[in-house]
Chain A
C-alpha cells in the first residue's frame, strides 16, 4: 500500500521533481484551455516564448514587467511571513502612483536623481500610508485586515476614477481622451537603463533588486526580521516576551504597502508616463501570486517575478501572433498558481510504501 507522510526534512531532488511536475501540469492545462477556445497551442506557446525571451528587446520587456511584480511580491512576503493578510496591494500600487504623481507637481526644478528618489519615496509613502491605515484599523478596532485592505482598494480606485474622469487630474485639450492624466513633465521621467527596440528597462528595476537584497537580509539577519517571523508563528508568545506587537503589525503593514506603492510610482514614471488605471490594474494581485509561488522567500520571489514578468510580456506577443484572447492569460496565471501551490504542499510530503498485515 502506498501512502503519503509528512517529510522530516526537505530534499532538493524531490523539490525539483515537484516543481517540474507543476510546470508541466500548468502547461498541459493551459494547452487544453487554448485548444478548447479554438487556438493552436503549439503556435501559441512558440509565440509566448519568442515574445518573452526571443530577443534582447523581449528580454528587457520581461524584466520591465517583472519589476513591479517583484516589488509587490516582496511587500507581500513581509506581510504573509508575519501571517498578516494584506491583500490590498492593488490599492497600494494605485496609492503609490497617485502620491508620486501629486508630489511631481511640486518638484520639477529638482536635479535628476534627487527627483527620482523623491518620487520613489512619495510612492512608498502613498502605499505605506494605505497599508498603515488598514493596520491601524486592526490594532485599534480589531478589524480584519483581509476585509479592510480589500475595501480600501475600492476607495482608492474610485478616488482615482473621480480625479481622472472630470476631476482635477483629467487631461485637458482637444486630442486627449477620458480616464487619464496629461503626460508627466518629461524631465521627471525615470531614466532608462537599457533600451533595445521596444524593450526598455527603467531605473525602478534597480530599486526592485535592492529591495530583494533588503528583504532577504532583513528577514533572515535582523532583530526586526526575527520578530516578523516569530509573529507569524506565534504572536501570543511574542506578546509575553516584551515585544510591542501592535507596533510590529503597523511596521509590517507600512513596509508591505510601501513596496507596493514604489511599484506604482515606477510604472507611472518609468513606463506609462501618464496616470491611468489600466496600466496599474492587476499588478497588485499578480504580485500576491508571485509571492505565493515564490514560497514567501525573497530569492524565490525573484524567480517567480521573472517567470510571471516573462509570461505577461510573452502573452502580449502571443496575442498578436496567434490571436489568443486576453482573458486566457489571467486564466493561465491562475493555473500556474494552482499547480505551484499544490507542488509546495507536495514538497512537504514523502511517499512511503507500507507492508500490510492481514
Chain B
C-alpha cells in the first residue's frame, strides 16, 4: 500500500514544552491508524498539526507525495484532510442535509439540494450510514450527529479523516456501529486516523502509533500484537489494574437518596424519583450515557441544584434545603466531571486550589488572613504525595495537564472528606496509568470505610470496581445490578433505556 500522508521529523514546541519531538508518521491509503498515548503524550498536538490548526515548528508533511504547507484547517480541507472533533459543530435546527452542504464550496446563492442529496445518499450507501437526511439535528442521537460530522467531511472530499476520541460520548452499541461505518470507509479506500486511549478501539485498527512524551515509541501492526504489549509501550512499564477487594463488605448506610426529582431550566424533568443508597465500604457505580441526569444528580447532592421533591440523608440525618457549604462541612468529598469548571480556580496555583472550599476554615487561617505558610506546607506535602507534576505550587493550574489537575482535586478532597465521596467521571480524559491512580485512591477510601458514588462511562471499569451498579436513563434509575451477574451488553441495553434485560432487580 502507498502512503497517503507522510510526516517527517515534525517538532512542535509551546514555550519550553516540547509537545511533539521529531515525530515520524505514515498513513497508508485505506487503513485505520490509531494514535495512542497517555494524556500529554502529544496526540492532540500532532493531529492539530495535521489538519492545519497548529503550524509545526519544524519538519515536513507530505500528502500524496507532495510537501504541503498547512496554515489553516481550510488548507487541510482543500487537500482532503477532514477532522471530526469531540464537540460537534452542527446547527441544531437545520436538517442533516443542510448541515452537510452548508459552507461547502459549490454552494452559490441557491442551495442545489437535489444534486447534493444525490451525492450524500451515495456517500451514505457506500459507508453503510443509515440516516434520514430531512431530520433536524436536535432530533438525532449523539451517535447520529457524529455520522453527520463524518458525512460533512466526506462531502467536502476528505480522503483522510481524523477522529478525536470519537467514542467518548457514545454507548457501547453506538461505538460498535461507528466502527462498522469506519470499516466501510476503509474498504472504499479512505484513510482514518483515530485518536484514542481506549484499548478496545485500538485493537480494531489496522496499525497503531504509540506516542510517549511527545515522541513516537513504535508503530505496530495491530494483528501482530496484544493489548498488554501496547499498554506497556505507552506507559513505559506494566500497569496493574485495580479490582475491588471482596473481603471488604458494605456496612452501614451513609447516603440515602429518596425519590429525588428535579427540573431543568425550562421546567423539563431532569431527575425523576431517583432512589438509592450507598453504604460504608461500598462503591456504587452510576452507569449511563452522558446527559441522562448524572450531572444533575451530583448537583443536587452538592446542594447547588434545587430539589423539586424527595430528599436525601447523610448518615441518617435528613438534609433539607442543602447548601454546598453544609454538604462540604458534613464530610462529603466531590470530584466533578468538568474539573476546570467545577473543581478548580484555573488562575490559582496548586497551593490555593488545595484549600478551595476551606479558605475560611480555622485550619488554614489566622483570623481573616490566610495562613500562607500552612498553605505552602500543605502544597509541598500533597504535590509530593500525589506526584503532581508542576513547576511550582503557585503555577496556575490551568497550565497543568488534565491528569495533574485531577491529582490536585483528589488531594484536596481526600484531605477533607470524611465519610462520603461523590465522583462524577473522575477518569474522564485520563489515560490508563492516571485512571488507575484515581481508582487506587478510591478503593483505598472504600477500604477505609467511605461510601463512594462513582459515575463513569467506562463500563469495564465499573464492573471491576463497584459493589453495585445503578443505571441511569432520562433522569431515572433503570435498575441496580450486581457486576458479577451482569454483562457489558446488558448494561449497554439498560443505558439505552431497555429495562427488559434486567433479569433480576436487586436493591
Binding site for B on A (CB under 8 A): 5-6, 8, 221-224, 226-227, 229-230, 232-234, 236-244, 354-355, 357
Q: A6 vs B368: C-alpha distance in the bound complex, in angstroms?
A: 36
Q: A5 vs B55: C-alpha distance in the bound complex, in angstroms?
A: 13
State whether the Cβ of B263 lies closer than 8 Å to any Cβ in chain A. Answer: no
Q: A8-B16, A237-B344, A241-B328 are in contact. Are A230 and B369 (CB under 8 A)?
A: no
State whether the Cβ of B58 lies closer than 8 Å to any Cβ in chain A. Answer: yes
The one of B15, B334, B348 in contact with A240, judged by C-beta atoms closer than 8 angstroms, is B334
Q: A227 vs B15: C-alpha distance in the bound complex, in angstroms?
A: 31
Q: List 30 A-B contacts (CB under 8 A).
A: A8-B16, A221-B369, A221-B370, A223-B360, A223-B365, A229-B345, A229-B347, A229-B348, A230-B345, A230-B348, A230-B356, A232-B347, A234-B344, A237-B341, A237-B356, A238-B356, A240-B343, A241-B324, A241-B356, A241-B357, A242-B324, A242-B327, A242-B328, A242-B329, A242-B357, A243-B324, A243-B325, A243-B357, A355-B58, A357-B60
Interchain nearest-CB distance for A233 vs B (Å): 4
State whether the Cβ of B489 lies closer than 8 Å to any Cβ in chain A. Answer: no
Q: A221-B369, A240-B334, A242-B325 are in contact. Are A227 and B359 (CB under 8 A)?
A: yes
Q: Which residues of B contact A355 (CB under 8 A)?
A: 58
Q: A5 vs B334: C-alpha distance in the bound complex, in angstroms?
A: 37
**Quick one: which of B16, B57, B328, B368 has the most chain A CB within 10 A?**
B368
Are A234 and B346 in touch, CB under 8 angstroms? yes
Q: A237 vs B397: C-alpha distance in the bound complex, in angstroms?
A: 13
Q: A169 vs B319: C-alpha distance in the bound complex, in angstroms?
A: 55
**Chain A: CB-nearest residue to B328:** A242
The one of A222, A234, A238, A240 in contact with B302, judged by C-beta atoms closer than 8 angstroms, is A240
Are B347 and A244 in touch, CB under 8 angstroms? no
Are A239 and B324 in touch, CB under 8 angstroms? yes
Interchain nearest-CB distance for B348 vs A (Å): 7
**Quick one: which of B58, B341, B348, B359 has the most chain A CB within 10 A?**
B359
Q: Which residues of B contact A241 (CB under 8 A)?
A: 324, 328, 356-357
Q: A239 vs B16: C-alpha distance in the bound complex, in angstroms?
A: 35
Are B336 and A240 in touch, CB under 8 angstroms? yes
Are B342 and A236 in touch, CB under 8 angstroms? yes
Interchain nearest-CB distance for A52 vs B (Å): 37
Are B60 and A240 in touch, CB under 8 angstroms? no
Q: Which residues of A contact B347 (CB under 8 A)?
A: 229, 232-234
Are B356 and A5 in touch, CB under 8 angstroms? no
- The list of the 3 closest CB pairs from A to B, nearest first, reads A241-B357, A242-B325, A233-B347
Are B346 and A233 in touch, CB under 8 angstroms? yes
Are B16 and A234 in touch, CB under 8 angstroms? no
Binding site for A on B (CB under 8 A): 15-16, 57-60, 302, 304, 323-325, 327-329, 334, 336, 340-348, 352, 356-357, 359-360, 365, 368-370, 372
Q: Which residues of B contact A242 (CB under 8 A)?
A: 323-325, 327-329, 357
Are B370 and A234 in touch, CB under 8 angstroms? no
The one of B57, B329, B341 in contact with A236, judged by C-beta atoms closer than 8 angstroms, is B341
Q: A8-B15, A241-B357 are in contact. Are A222 and B369 (CB under 8 A)?
A: yes
A-B contact count (CB 8 A): 80
Q: Which residues of B contact A230 (CB under 8 A)?
A: 345, 348, 356, 359
The one of B304, B336, B346, B370 in contact with A222, judged by C-beta atoms closer than 8 angstroms, is B370
Q: A241 vs B323: C-alpha distance in the bound complex, in angstroms?
A: 10
Q: A240 vs B325: C-alpha distance in the bound complex, in angstroms?
A: 8
**Chain B: CB-nearest residue to A227:** B359
Q: Which residues of A contact B342 (CB under 8 A)?
A: 236-237, 240
Q: Which residues of A contact B341 (CB under 8 A)?
A: 234, 236-237
The one of B58, B325, B345, B346 in contact with A244, judged by C-beta atoms closer than 8 angstroms, is B325
Q: Which residues of B contact A354 (CB under 8 A)?
A: 57
Q: Which residues of B contact A232 (CB under 8 A)?
A: 347
Q: A1 vs B60: C-alpha distance in the bound complex, in angstroms?
A: 17
Given A223-B365, A239-B324, 15 more A-B residue pairs with CB atoms under 8 Å apart are: A5-B15, A8-B16, A223-B368, A226-B359, A229-B345, A232-B347, A234-B345, A236-B341, A237-B344, A240-B357, A241-B324, A241-B356, A242-B325, A357-B58, A357-B59
Q: Which residues of B contact A6 (CB under 8 A)?
A: 15
Q: A8-B15, A223-B359 are in contact. Are A240 and B304 (CB under 8 A)?
A: yes
Q: Which residues of B contact A229 (CB under 8 A)?
A: 345, 347-348
Q: A48 vs B304: C-alpha distance in the bound complex, in angstroms?
A: 56
Q: A236-B342, A239-B324, A240-B302 are in contact. Are A222 and B356 (CB under 8 A)?
A: no
Are A226 and B370 in touch, CB under 8 angstroms? yes
**Chain A: CB-nearest residue to B339:** A237
Q: A242 vs B58: C-alpha distance in the bound complex, in angstroms?
A: 48
Q: A237 vs B346: C-alpha distance in the bound complex, in angstroms?
A: 10
**Chain A: CB-nearest residue to B59:** A357
Interchain nearest-CB distance for A3 vs B (Å): 10
Q: A239 vs B334: C-alpha distance in the bound complex, in angstroms?
A: 13
Q: Which residues of B contact A222 (CB under 8 A)?
A: 368-370
Q: A320 vs B6: C-alpha distance in the bound complex, in angstroms?
A: 73
Q: Which residues of A contact B329 (CB under 8 A)?
A: 242
Q: A343 vs B60: C-alpha distance in the bound complex, in angstroms?
A: 36
Q: Which residues of B contact A227 (CB under 8 A)?
A: 359
**Chain B: CB-nearest residue to A218:** B368
Q: Which residues of A contact B344 (CB under 8 A)?
A: 234, 237
Interchain nearest-CB distance for A205 vs B (Å): 26
Q: A171 vs B392: C-alpha distance in the bound complex, in angstroms?
A: 63
Q: Which residues of B contact A234 (CB under 8 A)?
A: 340-341, 344-347
Q: A8-B15, A240-B324, A242-B324 are in contact. Are A223 and B345 (CB under 8 A)?
A: no
**Chain B: CB-nearest residue to A240:** B342
Q: Which residues of A contact B356 (CB under 8 A)?
A: 230, 237-238, 241
**Chain B: CB-nearest residue to A9:** B15
Q: A6 vs B399: C-alpha distance in the bound complex, in angstroms?
A: 13
**Chain B: CB-nearest residue to A221:** B369
Q: Which residues of B contact A237 (CB under 8 A)?
A: 341-345, 356
Q: A222 vs B368: C-alpha distance in the bound complex, in angstroms?
A: 6
Are B304 and A233 in touch, CB under 8 angstroms? no
Interchain nearest-CB distance for A220 vs B (Å): 9
